[in-house]
Amino acid sequence: MRYRLHQIQLPLDYLESDLPQAVALKLGCPLKAITGLKPRTRSLDARAANQAPRFVFSVDLNLEKKWLPLANQALLEPLDPHKSKPIIIPQITTKRSRSRPVVVGAGPAGLMAAFALAKAGLKPLLIERGAAVDERKTKVRDFWSNGVLDEETNTLYGEGGAGLYSDGKLTSRSKDSPRLLYFLETLVQCGAPKEILIDHNPHLGSDQLALIVPRLRDFIIEMGGEVRFLSRLDKLTAHQGKLTSLTIQGEVIPTEACVLATGHSARDVYRMLAHSPVALEPKSFAIGARLELPQEVINHAQFKKWAGHPALGVASFRLTRKEEMGFRACYSFCMCPGGKVIACASSKNKLTTNGMSLSKRDLAWGNAAFIVPLRPSDIPPTNDGEPAILDAIKFQENIEAKAFVFGGGNYSLPASRLSDFLSQQRPKDLPQHRSAPRAVPADLWQILPASLCETLRHALPEMLQKLPGCSFSDILLYAAETRSSSPIRVTRGDDGQSTTVQGLFPCGEGAGYAGGIVSAGIDGLRAAQWVIQTYL
């Protein structure tokens, strides 16, 4: 019989051979009783103030009936063999005369959808407006070094999607979801380290992602799929509520099944959808600024005197503050330990910020967005004759346009020492030592809405009490963090299709069903499974 056992603790400098011993000790069984031992999760517990941090494992193991009387059975959780297996993609063998499915967008959602569709034998066409990874890297370097923006290939558009220039965290709620396992195992098949299958907070880094994503593309092609870069979807055509074709830069491609995975930076896609029969709905989103402080401070706050231990790596944090009378809630988001703050843009004269890291996470700073949630009712109506659903996008664009101007008009990031922000003073200078060299002193109160600045001013000093040891004049705030989530959801039914256009499968972050690399990848798989159902 197979069981799961939780809470096996090992010291920081454990050896692999220590795990079976620790399991046997915890269960009260002889070592030989335990077979088929497989670690399921590994997390770090650094909560105790006076105790060294420890690794905590859960494992799966076989234990024969004869050993049960010896074992502490209360600790053993009988394992459902179906629960912890990845999904199985069925092979489509019927020869019904249907057009091949098209996937739009090669971010985590689109790539995983195309991978699963190719695996099913459906020979999908994957189209992506931006360039493949290698060309994209060159364009992004030019943007960061010289402020030269390509509106089709940039930090947000191109193979790998928005997540390519990211921290590459693969955080998710459960290790038991069959789709999550499929997603992580696919990444391992493409070269990701095996540890991502068990680590509680796995991390890849932008450098590893840039190797993994092209391998994923190669698999899609090897399995019969086609991938076209520099190909932008401009129009969807439907007839009597059914999708009939897509227009890709002038070329009309007939199709009855399209996975729309264009991410939430593609505002032209939202504009196109808002003028089409595709149903959309407003959703909450969040806006704020990115805060940077020395990584050393974060390490000491979390790991105390054990900071610097080679097994610990770099520490991260998650801070939240509830809504209070006169102030909105505020929370930290997308923390990048040992990383840098980056400028991002996908359209001219609009600037947003984000964080990224390499696999080593060895830079001297940690950064995180500190964002404030906004409800659809918080967004001022424009009453400009365009569909009102687009108002939230204009609200974001307005902030990004100010960030561009206050950054000096060349895609340098506007930034302020936290001390200047709190006292509402125009900053005179920035610390020399910072992760983003192309940053200029700017008054963030001129960029972000006043109510949002008031919330940040109120919340940040309290929240930062958890990270003591750094003067507010050495902490930097960069503006503006506008793209943490989509303000629009593309409404879909229980069959994964748009409620108004059959054959359109909206998915991923842009459609409002994901927030992060893992959830976007999982949603891409889910969309592929829905598409496959229609071909069975």
Query: How many whole angstroms separate alpha carbon 500 and alpha carbon 238?
Result: 10
Sheet holding 242-248, edge to edge: 233-239, 242-248, 251-254
Crossing angle between the packed helical segments 206-222 and 178-189, to the nearest 10 degrees: 90
Decide if residue 391 touches ligand FAD (CB under 6 A): no
When binding is defined by CB under 6 A, the residue of 53, 101, 124, 130 that contacts ligand FAD is 130
User: CA dihedral defined by 211, 217, 218, 223, rounded to 10 degrees?
Assistant: 150
- Among 497, 525, 532, 530, which residue's Cα sits nearest to residue 109? 525
Query: How many whole angstroms separate alpha carbon 108 and alpha carbon 89?
Result: 18
Alpha-carbon distances of 160 from 43, 105, 262, 283, rounded to whole Å: 28, 9, 11, 25
Decide if residue 514 touches ligand FAD (CB under 6 A): yes
Query: How many whole angstroms separate alpha carbon 535 and alpha carbon 533?
Result: 5
Alpha-carbon distances of 405 from 343, 440, 479, rounded to whole Å: 14, 11, 11
Taking CB under 6 A as the binding criterion, the range among 258-266, 317-325, 433-441, 497-505 that sits at the site for ligand FAD is 258-266
Q: Which is nearer to ligand FAD, 155 or 455 (CB)?
A: 155
When binding is defined by CB under 6 A, the residue of 4, 42, 100, 129 that contacts ligand FAD is 129
Decide if residue 54 touches ligand FAD (CB under 6 A): no
Q: Which is nearer to ligand FAD, 307 or 344 (CB)?
A: 344
Per-residue interface string for the shown chain with ligand FAD, residues 87-116, x marking contact by CB under 6 A: -----------------xxxxxxx------
Surface-to-core class of residue 127, CB atoms within 10 Å of its CB (0-12 exposed, 13-18 middle, 19+ buried):
buried
When binding is defined by CB under 6 A, the residue of 61, 118, 122, 162 that contacts ligand FAD is 162
For 412, residues 6+ apart whose C-beta sits below 8 A from its C-beta are 147, 343, 438, 439, 440
Decide if residue 183 touches ligand FAD (CB under 6 A): no
Decide if residue 169 touches ligand FAD (CB under 6 A): yes
Alpha-carbon distances of 217 from 112, 190, 212, rounded to whole Å: 10, 10, 9
Taking CB under 6 A as the binding criterion, the range among 25-33, 55-63, 259-267, 461-469 that sits at the site for ligand FAD is 259-267
- Among 418, 462, 172, which residue's Cα sits nearest to residue 322? 462
| Helix or strand (DSSP H, E) at 43 | strand 34-45
Q: Which is nearer to ligand FAD, 108 or 124 (CB)?
A: 108
Q: How far is the CB of 347 from ligand FAD (least distance, A)?
A: 12
β-pair type (258-260, 102-104):
parallel
Contacts (CB under 6 A) with ligand FAD, residues 350-369: 354, 356
Decide if residue 150 touches ligand FAD (CB under 6 A): no
417 and 475 in contact (C-beta within 8 Å)?
A: yes
Q: Which is nearer to ligand FAD, 271 or 309 (CB)?
A: 271
Query: How many whole angstroms separate alpha carbon 161 and alpha carbon 270?
Result: 17
Q: Which is nearer to ligand FAD, 142 or 152 (CB)?
A: 152
Contacts (CB under 6 A) with ligand FAD, residues 267-306: 269
Taking CB under 6 A as the binding criterion, the range among 31-39, 157-165, 288-296, 362-370 that sits at the site for ligand FAD is 157-165
Q: How far is the CB of 303 from ligand FAD (least distance, A)?
A: 21
Decide if residue 124 touches ligand FAD (CB under 6 A): no
Q: How far is the CB of 269 from ligand FAD (least distance, A)?
A: 5
Q: How far is the CB of 484 from ligand FAD (least distance, A)?
A: 8
Decide if residue 334 touches ligand FAD (CB under 6 A): yes
When binding is defined by CB under 6 A, the residue of 124, 503, 508, 512 that contacts ligand FAD is 508
Q: Footprint of ligand FAD on this chain (CB under 6 A)?
A: 104-110, 127-130, 156-158, 161-163, 165-169, 232-233, 261-263, 265-266, 269, 334, 344, 354, 356, 508-510, 514-518, 520
